[in-house]
Structure 1
Amino acid sequence: MTAHPPLQRAVYVVSLFPCWSETFIVREISALIENGVDVRIISLKKPSETLVQADAQALMDRVRHPRSPLHALWEATKALLRNPGAVIATLGSVVADSWRSPSVLAKSLAAWLRGLEHVDWLHGFKPQVLHAHWATYPSTAAWTLSRVLDVPFGFTCHAHDIFIERQLIARKIQDAAVAVTISRFNVEWLSERETAQARDKLHVIHCGVDLRANPWQPDGRLPHQILTVGRLDPIKGFATLVEALALLQARGVDFQCRLLGSGPLDASLRALAQARGVADRIEFCGAQPQDVVRRWMGEAALFVLPSEVAPDGNRDGIPVALMEAMATGCPVVSTRVSGIPELVEHEATGLLVDEKQPAALADAMQRLLEDADLRRQVVAGARAKVEREFDARKEARRLQDLMEGVAHAS
């Protein structure tokens, strides 16, 4: 096998940077930088979040945010004059794909324009690869820039960007030099519904965890402390968790639950906890810095994430929070949804139940809270699984190898 020269310059395109819920992108970029790659970031949106994780803050001098719409139009006009064929062709493809949905079309055109806003700068930076996270608007911008600049492009698709919004995805898979997804489940889903090319072209590269930042600490945990982390969104199944916790209370099981995250279901989940008589057992903690999440993960006796398929078909990919819990030695319970069984193997690296089943979820939580031998068995298997398949540095190195192959192919 021929070794390729090291990758020197890459550009990532994302919807928003920094983004509290996308720490996996930060880890991937940081790993590439550690490996000597000069990575720059194009954010399609201006910064808007008040909570910025420390590792994301460290990358802010590498980020290019959008300027005014007038500036974007001026830069796009210059790109049109320089390469009219590619600019017009990409515009036509975006319109043809999205015209039936005015809102998607408007956002796609904005992404197309926000990408072209950076053409002049990209000519100077000379990236060897353009890579986007999410197969929706960021990859539309990266695909456009690839056609205009004649630079290889890749993208990583995750969950809602294939289960709910599939914008030019067959075309993107076809044109991508590096097409990536985060689970084998996604490969099969796309190959059956979008394009047979998915099975041959998509590489499975996991969103991993930083094992140095998530040390192994299986002992000394608070015996009744349950932890869950995630956006308060239907796909996380937190209503099912509240119902399961009410069942545990009815059985006389002692517990206290911390729920970390914010989102649209905050008020309804609090009301449900009150109605089920467990409001004093659940601490709604809101969004928290990564160091707080890690500290509480090191204290919890059990981590629970009862992911489910939402009514609109949306669902998780493989939640990074599960990986982090497993890395630290916290036993986990989750559901048989999407790619989760590729991480959590029942009774080997955690416990799995069917989605939307409060009684089954309560049974699994009770088993792990009460069975020390089972806890020792699953946490040992979980750490080994994460080290083998979900180490952020190893996964970033695999992605870098693919990028190096296409960067030097010509």
Structure 2
Amino acid sequence: MNRIPRLLVLASTYPGTPDDGTPAFVRDLAIRESEAFETLVVVPRVPGAPATEQEGALTVRRFAYFPRRWEDLARGAIIENLRSRRSRWLQVLPFFVAESLAVRRAVREFRPDVVHAHWIIPQGLVLALVAPRVPRIVTTLGGDLYALRAGVLQRLKAWVVRGSRAVTVMNEEMADIVRELGGRDVRVSPMGADLSAFRDSAKVARGTGPALRLLFVGRMVEKKGLGVLLSALRGLDVPVSLTAVGDGPLRAEMERQAGGLDVRFVGQLGRADLARAYAEADIVVVPSVAAASGDKDGLPVAMLEAMGSGCAIVASDLPGLNEAVVDGVSGILVPSGDPDRLAACLRDLEADRERVGGLGSAAAERAESFSVERVGDRYVDLLTSVLA
């Protein structure tokens, strides 16, 4: 009998528990991949998570990298964590060393046939150093590609992508950047969204209440653009309310900026609570901007979940977002960083509630193209072709 091929998955963002509010796109995809491969996931330790766990055919192994009391570099987004508190730089070298040792152990004991590394830096770099002979594909979600652009980092990224069998990215702009770095097989393949928890919300009537119910979902960092949305609400003279889901280094600043507006900050939500938030919303606003560092969204999975929930989408006209949203059909695109245009769009939708419902229905249909089932099939095919 032929042995089932073995897949090693590396990532730095992974839920500690299934409903802790951490973006679960790596987990969702790994579960799909584990249907075709014997799969081991190696990720950094986060508070409350076991050192090892078994989830169906999926094994998760978490490595420690710093004394537990201060170990928070990988809790959320590493780049934004470093920006928000400079003392976290003390965790960077221990993180690289610990991840290198964990990957070396996994390669020695698990003997993977292929590796799927999420993010060029750090996971792709660690893999290229520790196990250069194991065939690998690398997925970059944006932060490492857009923000880490110093000369030495560019050379390291080029070295990693040139040694990878394939590199997957979230949008065409990112694909061009990876090709400039020397990537040979570069594919646009966004992270899939697990829509199973959100499809029932697509049956909810939208735009029927006395005030438009807006929803923002995302980490409270510069590139998510929540400040732009709050500025837009200041200029609105129509009844709207906003629920802001998420946490992050800019939360206190955003709460101050929202003073006097009808805005609720509810923190991170697990998948069940998030599904309820989508069901209660008329419009999900994705006001993404390019951060001062150059970092920006590739294609937020939260937006795909919102689309799958049947919410009307108002999003910034940025690469990735404008590849998922068909302007005027499954959502409306507005210039990034322009609160006046965003306010005008929301004002128009408040005056045309029937259109809100139509946009939401079209969004739900469009989201199926980005479901984890369809995206997972593409990744399984890619990994299989690497083995062949």
TM-score (norm 2): 0.82
Residue identity over aligned pairs, in percent, reads 25
Distance 1:7 1:376 in 2: 46
Letter in 2 for 1:24: F
Distance 1:6 1:243 in 2: 58
- Superposed CA offset, 1:215-263 (max 9, x none): 1524334632111111111111111111111222xx1x11221101111
Query: Which residue pairs with 1:62 in the alignment?
Result: 59
- Superposed CA offset, 1:301-333 (max 9, x none): 111110001112111111111111111111010
Query: Which residue pairs with 1:157 in the alignment?
Result: 140
Distance 2:171 2:295 in 1: 15
Matched, 1:211 2:212: no
Query: Which residue pairs with 1:24 in the alignment?
Result: 25
Distance 1:57 1:282 in 2: 40
Distance 2:231 2:121 in 1: 34
Offset of residue 17 of structure 1 = 3.6
Offset of residue 282 of structure 1 = 0.2
TM-score (norm 1): 0.78
Structure 1 segments of 4+ aligned residues over 4 angstroms from their partners: 56-61, 103-106
Letter in 2 for 1:115: S
Distance 1:265 1:383 in 2: 31
Q: Which moved more, 1:118-127 or 1:315-324?
A: 118-127
Question: Which runs of structure 2 are paired with 1:8-157 in the superposition (5 Å)?
Answer: 8-18=5-15, 20-33=21-34, 35-43=35-43, 45-48=44-47, 58=55, 62-67=59-64, 107=92, 110-111=95-96, 114-147=99-132, 150-157=133-140
Letter in 2 for 1:163: Y
Alpha-carbon RMSD across the aligned residues, in angstroms, is 2.7
Question: Which runs of structure 2 are paired with 1:10-409 in the superposition (5 Å)?
Answer: 10-18=7-15, 20-33=21-34, 35-43=35-43, 45-48=44-47, 58=55, 62-67=59-64, 107=92, 110-111=95-96, 114-147=99-132, 150-165=133-148, 167=153, 168-191=156-179, 194-195=180-181, 197-198=182-183, 200-216=184-200, 217-221=202-206, 223=209, 224-248=212-236, 251=237, 253-274=238-259, 277-278=260-261, 281-388=262-369, 390-407=370-387, 409=388
Instruction: Summarize the Cα distance change of 1:104–1:128 in structure 2 as closer, same or farther, 3 Å threshold.
Output: farther
Q: Conserved in 1, the CA contact under 8 Å of 2:115 and 2:134?
A: yes
Q: Which moved more, 1:214-223 or 1:340-349?
A: 214-223
Distance 2:294 2:54 in 1: 34
Letter in 2 for 1:38: E
Distance 2:187 2:3 in 1: 20
The structure with the largest helix share of the pair is 1
Aligned to 1:47, the other structure's residue is in SS state coil
Aligned to 1:18, the other structure's residue is in SS state coil
Q: Conserved in 2, the CA contact under 8 Å of 1:7 and 1:128?
A: no
Instruction: Summarize the Cα distance change of 1:120–1:162 in structure 2 as closer, same or farther, 3 Å threshold.
Output: closer
Distance 1:238 1:153 in 2: 36
Aligned to 2:195, the other structure's residue is in SS state coil
- Superposed CA offset, 1:356-394 (max 9, x none): 211111111222233234224422332232212x11111
Instruction: Summarize the Cα distance change of 1:67–1:258 in structure 2 as closer, same or farther, 3 Å threshold.
Output: closer
Distance 2:328 2:65 in 1: 54
Letter in 1 for 2:157: I
Return 5+ residue gaps in structure 2 as ranges: 67-87
Aligned to 2:42, the other structure's residue is in SS state strand
Distance 1:60 1:284 in 2: 37
Q: Conserved in 1, the CA contact under 8 Å of 2:178 and 2:186?
A: no
Q: Which moved more, 1:17-26 or 1:123-132?
A: 17-26
Q: Conserved in 2, the CA contact under 8 Å of 1:16 and 1:46?
A: no
Distance 1:360 1:255 in 2: 16
Distance 1:6 1:256 in 2: 55
Distance 2:101 2:45 in 1: 16
Offset of residue 57 of structure 1 = 8.9
